[in-house]
Amino acid sequence: MTDPWDQIARADATYRFLEAGARSLPRDREHAGGAGPLAGQIIGVKSNIAVAGQAWTAGIAARRDRLAPQDAPIVAQLRAAGAQILSRLIMDEAALGAASDNPHFGRVENPAQPGQSAGGSSGGSAAAVASGALRLALGSDTLGSVRIPAAYCGIVGLKPARGAMPLDGVLPLAPGFDALGLLGATLPEVSALYALFDQTPAKGGLRVMIPDQLAGIPCAPEALAAVARVAAAADRLGLRAPAGLVPGWEPEETRRAAFSELCARASETLAAEPGLSQSVRRSLDFGAQLPPDQRAAGARHLADLRDGLGACFDAGFVLLTPTTPSGSFPHGTRPPRDQASFTALANIAGGASLSVPLPDDPLSSVMLTGAAGTETALLALARELMDALMAPETSP
């Protein structure tokens, strides 16, 4: 039988999802798993999440020798459930990036699309799962950093609501936007792992709504086709609501306001971190130098949008959109400016969001976004929709 740790090492040699596997793997594998629902499983962990005795870098070179004194609570929970931990999955520096092309630790390769970006900032987590080396991994998501890599790598990505999974022991980027998330090979596996943290029964009565604003966002034909297919499945199940406007959502204004606020918050949380690259420093300087009136106007816009999203969620709607307007981009090119157009909504609202690949076309994905507390319902709804998508249509 193949040793799973040897399989991880071989996959990393090809896809380069570990920061320094020669150093971290021996320590990881010496920690045996225990009894529990995750016995026999190895769960990957993004490098901004503390794992005792391992470098807690968050992709920052100056933190190479800063060892985590103890596990983050989320890691401790995984160990208590019987899992072993694979630490130090590569991410964009300080989580402030969108390609997992780290100037200090290297570029992650996309197992599903050679030559294309694995996305960011949780690209190492996504690639480790997409390579087959792992079934499940943890990432963090500030404006889409779990769901975008999941979509680019053809796997499942769940961003639970803010606070649903503890952020202690996670190096912050933009408090208020940050959340932990799960990446997995299949919906059932992600559902089973999330159930360890939240036993809330699935909320019924939710209906799928395509927001009117989708028509105003340039999207690749395949992204729109994926939404149309899932919407048709929702129709057949009687789960579709009429398309409607999300009050307060002006996509371009929202994109600018969210990015500006992210940089402003990051300029405070990362102010004391030495050795940051010029690229990250430019983003922090941009955030720190935002005129107060501009930041205030952006905050008002985001508050209005939170209210608008809340009204949709209160009505029992789940938003159906593409995960990203278009697919992954070639290595070495600039990430699309609009790739978080849809994913940012859940971070702004503090809600739950799920990116799921189509069963017969994994590189086409859709996203379901709902209120806080609907994580279990979104997972169940996605399974129902994907099953309906693949079921043969019957004549009336």
Residue with tokens 């929709």: 385
Task: Give the pairing of strands 207-209 and 179-184.
Answer: unpaired
98 close to 142: Cβ distance less than 8 angstroms: no
Structure tokens, 197 = 């943290």
- Whole-angstrom CA distances from 114 to 101, 118, 163, 331 are 14, 9, 35, 9
What single string gives the DSSP state of each residue in 354-369?
EEEEETTEEEEEEEEE
- Whole-angstrom CA distances from 35 to 32, 80, 85, 135, 193 are 10, 8, 14, 18, 15
First to last CA, the chain: 51
Supply the residues annotated as catalytic: 46, 121, 145
Helix (H, G, I), strand (E, B) or coil at 219: coil
d(CA 252, CA 338): 8
Task: Give the pairing of strands 361-370 and 352-358.
Answer: antiparallel
